Chain A
């Protein structure tokens, strides 16, 4: 897997690069700002771009804007955004239209390299990955008329784990139930959220979209 990293802090950038290379991920370039990142992506056509949300000049949502452009201009490149803070709004803005191939993780989460590598793999497969902290927040602040209200607590747990990018096997492991039970429960979730039968990945993304729209 070929990735590029964009973060304005060199220390974080190189630390992350070494961590990824150590885990067998090929880092094909690093950038310190949005322009550098876009040029790098155009040149290298990586599988994934790992992008810090806050970058120069305003340190607000430059990474978010860059992520949109990358997804629009280079369909084959997935994007994982890293954020220092829990900002569900950013996640919603990024993912609300087309969450496939996008991830949103808290920066501190990626020090557990296995989580990051897993997320990279999932976004390249067209799924979306949302940090558990943010998923939990979105779940808590759902509106009273949200379709999520139709789900049982257990079904919401399964949906939350899907949003975090877990596979059925991962969900089963987390909840201590069988994979078949998870598959059956997900089918109920899709049905309750009015999602027509289609390839599994696609339906998982749509389910997460429901969550993001609360």
Chain B
């Protein structure tokens, strides 16, 4: 069994999209503001600010880069995935606002508050990872992460006094928490760490579940890594309370997390754009050329279309695909009536990315291609049935012919011999005997016309040209023949023969001067047959219908047009 992603409707914008359209840019603006304020607020003290003093320039540069990446990404995805912009903004706040604690201009309470914002970063990062998919998950998980992170922030804000934290840098001096009396700093920090870790664990579990589905790739894994990177220092500090970590060790995880969550979505967007371009190419290819399969290396090597209410898949030309054509990996898109499309997904390609590219416009084009493919398939069915009907009637005709040959004809021939014998024996030239012989000959001639298979073995044995020569030879009017057609399918040759036979049979020399000109040639993979009949109105309707059925059964068409005092029959039949 091929592995197929769950049946998904194509992503459709919900009706609340108008409001959501404004959420993304607003969030992106907020994150931009946070970054600008951070840079602007730090400038007056730089490079002598006690906070920045311990930081090497390269780390500050990378931190700035991470911030720029996050803000840029927030803007890039703001219209398509506003929720991701919101997540990035929350992460920006959680990662950059604590840096404000170094500003000497801030009052102590504010310094404590900005420092307490740090746990929020985990929620923001998880938000990005979990909301990358538009399909969306239950908001409960994300809500839980936010509640836990906010709890950690509150506990941190009210209970943590850096002054009593041996691990805190000297700059923490001025920070004064609200509830220092209730909780020791270590207790407050441990509680905040517990809540932060809980948030991180919930986030990791959900992200692993998403990541394991192989749907949203790089962003999910980046968020997962960022969450872990952010959570580990909390736990480490609780455990090694008295160690004084270097400022680099404190800041580096934040910078790494920022880079991960800032850059991963950009990478994913670029990859998605590539897939989208390829899908568009594929769709254009499908809808114009009518053949499946795009170039090698495409994430979607092929598309199959389901015939409604049947367990059949066809390609875009309507050709049925066998079980050997079922790809190892595929995405099935269903409509309310059942499976509609199957997009083959190349090994190593991201099925989620493929699915994400199915915009309404692409879907419309694919549905269009499906309609065409289904019509072609149905037409093929009708042709096949037409062929079977023609074959069955031919078989019946041959059976009757054989019956006539083996039965009535042989008896009549034998009777004519006996009559001849009788005449010889009696040595009698009586008129009655002569009349009997004449009517017997007439009966045989009629029977021969009736029974002679209208499709002689000559067609198969020696080709259409030879068979048409015989027909022309039997014609009752002057007939010219120009046949340039070799190696035709038997069905096509028989249909062509039937056209000529019917046309010639309709010409009556007694009705005035008449003639027939027959031309047949193969052009562009199609047999073109023209029979020009002068001095006749052409075959009667019933005969024409019979012949047109034959021509139609091989996928061709028959035209009859008036021409001077006669008609031209034109048959075009594909013969490759």
Binding site for B on A (CB under 8 A): 9, 11-12, 15-16, 18-19, 22-23, 54, 59-61, 84-89, 107-108, 110-113, 137-138, 140-141, 144
Contact = CB atoms under 8 A, between A and B. Distances in A.
Given A15-B417, A85-B448, A9 B406 contact: yes
Nearest to B474: A137
A32 to B, nearest CB: 13
B414 A11 contact: yes
Interface string B460-483: 011000110110111100011100
A38 to B, nearest CB: 22
A12 B456 contact: no
A9 B414 contact: yes
A108 B421 contact: no
Interface in B533-562: none
B420 A112 contact: yes
A141 B420 contact: no
A9 B473 contact: no
The interface centre, meaning the residue of B413, B417, B445 with most chain A CB atoms within 10 A of its CB, is: B417
Contact of A15 (B402, B414, B472, B481): B414
A173 B317 CA distance: 69
Contact of A111 (B416, B456, B479, B481): B416
23 contacts: A9-B406, A9-B410, A12-B410, A12-B413, A15-B417, A15-B418, A19-B420, A23-B424, A85-B448, A86-B448, A86-B452, A86-B474, A88-B470, A89-B470, A108-B413, A108-B416, A108-B445, A110-B417, A111-B417, A137-B470, A137-B474, A140-B474, A144-B480
A141 B473 contact: yes
Nearest to A108: B444
A59 B448 CA distance: 16
Nearest to A87: B456
B507 to A, nearest CB: 14
Given A19-B421, A85-B448, A108-B416, A137 B409 contact: no
Most buried by A among B410, B452, B458, B470: B410
A86 B419 CA distance: 23
A12 B437 CA distance: 16
Would you call the interface of chain A mostly helix, strand, loop, or mixed? helix
B383 interface: no
A145 to B, nearest CB: 12
Contact of B424 (A9, A16, A113): A113
B456 A107 contact: no
B420 A11 contact: no
Contacts of B424: 19, 22-23, 113
Contacts, number: 86
Contacts of B406: 9
B1 interface: no
A184 to B, nearest CB: 30
Given A86-B474, A87-B458, A22 B416 contact: no
Contacts of A54: 405
B472 to A, nearest CB: 5
B470 A141 contact: yes
Contacts of A11: 410-411, 414
B435 interface: no
A108 B473 CA distance: 21
Nearest to B406: A9
A89 B466 contact: yes
A10 B393 CA distance: 31
A144 to B, nearest CB: 8
A140 B458 CA distance: 18
Interface in B390-420: 402, 405-406, 409-411, 413-414, 416-420
A85 B452 contact: yes
B2 to A, nearest CB: 48
B414 A89 contact: no
B137 interface: no
Nearest to B453: A85
Interface of B: 402, 405-406, 409-411, 413-414, 416-421, 424-425, 437, 440-441, 444-445, 448, 452, 456-458, 461-462, 466-467, 469-470, 472-475, 479-481
B458 A22 contact: no
B64 to A, nearest CB: 92
A9 B402 CA distance: 13
A108 B414 CA distance: 9
A137 B417 contact: no
A112 to B, nearest CB: 7
Nearest to A144: B480
B417 A16 contact: yes
Contact of A141 (B402, B414, B469): B469
B57 to A, nearest CB: 98
Contacts of A19: 417, 420-421, 424
A195 to B, nearest CB: 24
Nearest to B411: A11
A62 to B, nearest CB: 12
Contacts of A61: 457
Contact of A89 (B419, B462, B480): B462
A11 B416 CA distance: 11
Nearest to A17: B417
Given A12-B413, A19-B421, A113-B424, A59 B402 contact: yes
Contacts of A12: 410, 413-414, 417
A87 B462 CA distance: 13
B60 to A, nearest CB: 96
Contacts of A144: 480
A84 B409 contact: yes
Contacts of A111: 413, 416-417, 419-420, 437, 440-441
Q: Among the interface residues A61, A88, A111, which one has the most CB atoms of the partner chain B within 10 A?
A: A111
A114 B448 CA distance: 23
Contacts of A88: 470, 473
Contacts of B473: 88, 137-138, 140-141
A58 to B, nearest CB: 9
Contacts of B425: 22
A87 B473 CA distance: 11
B413 to A, nearest CB: 5
A11 B425 CA distance: 19
Across the A-B interface, the 4 shortest Cβ-Cβ residue pairs? A141-B473, A15-B417, A111-B416, A137-B473
Given A108-B413, A108-B445, A140-B472, 5 more contacts: A59-B402, A89-B461, A108-B441, A140-B473, A144-B480
A140 B470 CA distance: 10
B421 A22 contact: yes
Contacts of A89: 456, 458, 461-462, 466-467, 470
Contact of B417 (A18, A84, A138): A18
Contacts of B437: 111
- Which of A108, A113, A144 has the most chain B CB within a 10 Å cutoff? A108
B261 to A, nearest CB: 81
A90 B417 CA distance: 24
